[in-house]
Amino acid sequence: MKQLITLTLFLLTLTAFAQKPCEYSVNVNDSIGTYKITNEYLMSEKYFGGSFSYVFFSLAQTDGLPTLNLQLIQKSKDFIKANCFDKNSKIFLQLENGKIVTLMHINQETCGTLIQDEKGFSNRVNTGIFMFMKDNYEELKKSPISIMRIKYLTDTEDYIVKRELTSELNGKVSHPNTYFIENIRCVE
């Protein structure tokens, strides 16, 4: 019996310390309110025919309201089509357990910024803020993501969410499919 209690205590201690600490790029708490935002996390990286595309996620909490910040960065020597976010834009996350989680864009239209660099590349940076729905928020804590669909103003794009992604941009390894399981607690 003593061994069983010791083993249980050991396993509980191990799981309690197994979570990595939350890292924030912004963490403000003042008389106006609180605002936290996690570091950006690479969710998708595509290279095709000299064009590059990156999708980054970060989680934010503003006075207790959690949101998802999505940053889309595109780079090409060719013309880059603007994928705009509007009030009808959504992110659909299909989970490995078969459920679909929908995030709604805030009511703010944005088409990003187009910047030319010195090497002749066009770079488009677009950021959207998405709100979680109460009815499916808990599902993100339980199951990894398998597919992500982003609905823009005039287009829809699908992404296969990988279990492990080694970035060609910076060489870092990430695990996009478990992003919410590992990080959503940071904005609760």
Give 112-158 pLDDT, tens digit per residue. 999 998 888 899 999 999 999 887 788 999 999 999 999 999 999 99
Give me the half-sphere count of Cα atoms (radius 13 Å) on the Cβ side of residue 148.
23
Q: Quick one: pLDDT at residue 3?
A: 52
Question: In a 3-state reduction of DSSP, which class is residue 177?
Answer: helix
Q: Is the pLDDT of residue 91 over 50?
A: yes
Is the separation of the CB atoms in 186 and 59 below 8 Å? Answer: yes
Confidence grade of residue 108 (pLDDT, cut at 50, 70, 90): confident
Q: What is the mean pLDDT of the chain?
A: 87
Q: Quick one: pLDDT at residue 6?
A: 46
Please state, for a pLDDT cut of 70, what percent of the chain lies above it: 90
Question: In a 3-state reduction of DSSP, which class is residue 29?
Answer: strand
Confidence grade of residue 37 (pLDDT, cut at 50, 70, 90): very high
Is the separation of the CB atoms in 115 and 55 below 8 Å? Answer: no
Question: In a 3-state reduction of DSSP, which class is residue 144?
Answer: coil
Residue 100: its H or E element: strand 100-105
Q: Quick one: pLDDT at residue 18?
A: 56
With CA atoms as reference, report the closest residue to 130 among 181, 188, 65, 74: 65
Q: Is the pLDDT of residue 11 over 60?
A: no
Q: Is the pLDDT of residue 81 over 90?
A: no
